[in-house]
Chains A and B, each alone.
Chain A
Amino acid sequence: MEALGSLIIAKYNYWAVIALLLIGLYAMITKKNLIKKIIGMNIFQTAIILFYVSIGSKKGATIPIITHGHGDASHAVHSVEYINPLPHVLMLTAIVVSVATLGVALALAMKVYSQYGTLEEDEIREKIMESEPV
């Protein structure tokens, strides 16, 4: 029982990430509405961000800002005292880039709506078939 408890504590971050990944993937595969697909893509991105940030954590470590870096109190820095800053850097840029790509996705959705008058995938396909009979 104790082993199970420690297993859950060691891995639950991955399970949360997997759950989010699957929700996003399911939305992207099965939803017909383009806006819902975009929301699914964003949930997927959020899962990736959470995954990266969670693998950067260390037990008993603090945020990666060196305390008393300058002045008389400066001292040698040990890497076990600070959590891994690298995933934070990568995800910092990824968050802003995901906002920018969301903007592009919404712009494309707006263009599709103004062209076909709908955001439902099957209706768009019908309209394409009507306009260009193969």
Chain B
Amino acid sequence: MRALGLATVFCFGAILFYISFDFPGWGDENSPASRHVSPYYIEHTMDDTSVPNIVTAILADYRGYDTLFETAVIFSAGLACFFLLRIPERQAPPARFYRHLATGITFRIEKGGRLPEDTDEFERIDSVWVPYDVIIGMTCRLVVPFIQLFALYVIAHGHHSPGGGFQGGVIFGAAIILFAISNNLRRTLKRMSEKTSALLGSLGVLIYAGTGILCMVLGAGFLNYSALASLLGVDPVSARSHGILIVEIGVGIAVTAVMVWIYYNLSSAGRQDEGL
């Protein structure tokens, strides 16, 4: 099996290596990839959309359909993780662990025992993760808001610098996941519940698709943002720029929510009780 695989890989590699000599050289401005539509995008993006970042303009305007369905793919990946892993009715675990905050003593409470759920003196801890981690928890708590602020900057400033909905959304999701890793899953779920993340994920896709339908209602084609000009009170070219911002925000919300949702399900094997 191993030899067969190695032979296949080598044949494949030899063919690819042979073909690579016919490819355009590295940095060739006359390569086929750079000749057909891409010069149009580069030269007309300022006149068409008034967005200096050509990547953002193509992503959300020229190729808006592609991005809409990529967002839908991400959302359905989140749904797939949910349906594969989520265990809805959980039986009570055999034992739970609580830490007395004042003394740092850990208690193990067997099934059927009285749980100190609503008191401030006890904190529930995961059965596999017992160390008392003040420094990590505190540092991450300080860092997380700044990461989130940076994520919002990346989304909002995607028109003028590298950035946009996908990158900003992933950074925002990473900040929440960092909080979940450094503290624990239950505390994160209290701040951003599973329901919230599911609703936000669908809201993001809805914002994107809804913007497209709004353009249709206003009399232009699907995702033709220049139709929003009358609604926003600006000229059609600026309306495209604003439309791009709206759908980027939708993408950012969807990506954030789906990343967090996938993390919730993967880290707790669908139980959403004890995480990493």
Contacts and interface: CB of A to CB of B under 8 A. Distances in A.
Interface in A1-57: 9-15, 18, 21-22, 25-26, 29-30, 54-57
Given A77-B43, A107-B81, A18 B13 contact: yes
Contacts of B43: 76-79
A44 B169 CA distance: 24
Interface in A47-73: 54-59, 61, 63-67, 69-70
Chain A, interface size category, equals 35 or more
A93 B167 CA distance: 9
A69 to B, nearest CB: 4
B5 A79 contact: no
B38 A101 contact: no
Nearest to A96: B166
B80 A70 contact: no
B74 A9 contact: no
Contacts of B255: 96
Nearest to B15: A18
B190 interface: no
A76 to B, nearest CB: 8
A69 B46 contact: yes
B52 to A, nearest CB: 4
Interface string B14-40: 001100110111111101011001110
11 contacts: A11-B23, A18-B17, A64-B42, A77-B45, A85-B42, A86-B38, A87-B33, A96-B255, A100-B74, A103-B262, A107-B262
Q: Which 6 pairs, one residue from A and one from B, show the smallest C-beta to C-beta distance?
A: A10-B25, A100-B77, A79-B39, A69-B52, A29-B5, A59-B27
